[in-house]
Structure formats: structure tokens, C-alpha cells
Amino acid sequence: MSNKTNLSIAGIVGLLVAGYFGFNSENIQQTKPVEYSSQQQDEHIEQSKTTHLNSQSQASRSEKGLARIQQAYEAKQKDVQVQASGKVKAILRDDNEGSRHQKFILTLDNGMTVLVAHNIDLSPRIDDLQKGDLVEFNGEYEFNDQGGVVHWTHRDPQNRHEHGWLKHNGKIYE
């Protein structure tokens, strides 16, 4: 990046910071300006870009995930890695036969519902899960007539399968 671009971006960042704290021209004259090194400016700019790109890419991944789930359902597929989110429609009893699984049903933004079977022998359970909560997920989709099942929402201890996860109230369960 050129110095001119860095200075322009730094100026914009400075205006945003000033606006955030509610400074007016009188306050600015009485306040000693904060001086940032070129490296600090670059780090702040990169952090801002990364945060923005992450939120954009999360929305894009969720949309792609919904489309993949819809396609997998229509084609009656299994073993499809998906990432999306949904609202908790129902919380079911844990399955304690064999590997223990926390089970709940999510309603997706496209209207479909999926059963989440989260292995609680390999990953922590979501203890404070409530009906209506938003849950993001990365796991493997399996077709069934009711909409499908998402599982592998945990790390694979043998590293032979893509790691999955659940995200609830800002906390990641993997």
C-alpha cells in the first residue's frame, strides 16, 4: 500500500474515532492529538478489514450452506459438509445409547428444519440452549424425510474428517 493510501485511510479512521467519541471542533483544539506509528495504523486497518471480511464471508457461507442443504435434501444426499445457522424449534432428550448426543431441531432461514445430533462425548453440550435461540453450525448433512440430520459438529479425534462445531451466544462448541 502506498503512503498516500495509508494516510487517507488513517484520516478516515481518525474521523470515525472522533465521531464515535462525540468530539466537536472545540474539543479537538483542546485535546492533544493521538499519534500512531505507521505500523499501528497498518495493524488497525488490517484488523478492520479482517473483521469486515469475516462478517461478509460468514453471511456468504451461511447462504451457500442453506443452498447446499436444500440441494442435498432434494437429491437425497448424505455426507455433505455444510455451514449455516438456524433457530431452535425444539429441544429433544439426549440420546444416551452408544455415543451420547445432544439433540435439537433447528428451523433454517429457508424454512427447512434439521435435526442436530451433537456428540457430547467428544464436545461439550450446550447447557443453556433455549427454544428460539440462534445456533450456527458446521457439520455433515444427512438426508431424511423430515429435513435431514446434521452431525459431526465436533473435532475428529483421528483428524480424518473435517472438524465441525456449533456456535451459541458467542461460544464455540467443538
What average pLDDT does the chain have? 79
Q: In degrees, to the nearest 5, what angle opens at C-alpha 7 toward C-alphas 6 and 13? A: 90
Say what the pLDDT of residue 65 is.
Answer: 85
The reply to whether 75 falls in a domain is: yes
Considering only residues 156 and 9, tell me which one the structure prediction assigns the higher pLDDT.
156
In DSSP terms, 172 is beta-bridged to: 167
**pLDDT bucket at 60, cuts 50 / 70 / 90:** low
- Binned at pLDDT 50, 70 and 90, residue 173 comes out as very high
pLDDT of residue 100: 97
Instruction: Determine which of 31-40, 94-103, 138-147, 162-171 has the lowest per-residue pLDDT on average.
Output: 31-40
Residue 113 placed within a domain? yes
Q: Residue 147's domain is classified under what CATH number?
A: 2.40.50.140
Please, what is the angle between helix 38-75 and helix 3-21, to 10°?
A: 80
* CB distance 116 to 150 below 8 Å: yes
Contact 168, 131 (CB under 8 A): no
| Tally of structural domains, the chain | 1
19 has pLDDT over 70:
no
Q: Look at residue 48 in the predicted model and tell me its pLDDT.
A: 46
Establish if 161 belongs to a structural domain: yes
Q: pLDDT-based confidence at 121, cuts 50/70/90?
A: very high
| Inside any domain, residue 101 | yes
Residues 154, 123 contacting (CB under 8 angstroms): yes
In-domain check, residue 115: yes
Q: Indicate whether 45 belongs to any domain.
A: no
Domain encompassing residue 150 = 55-173
125 lies in some domain: yes
Asked whether residue 39 is domain-assigned, the answer is no
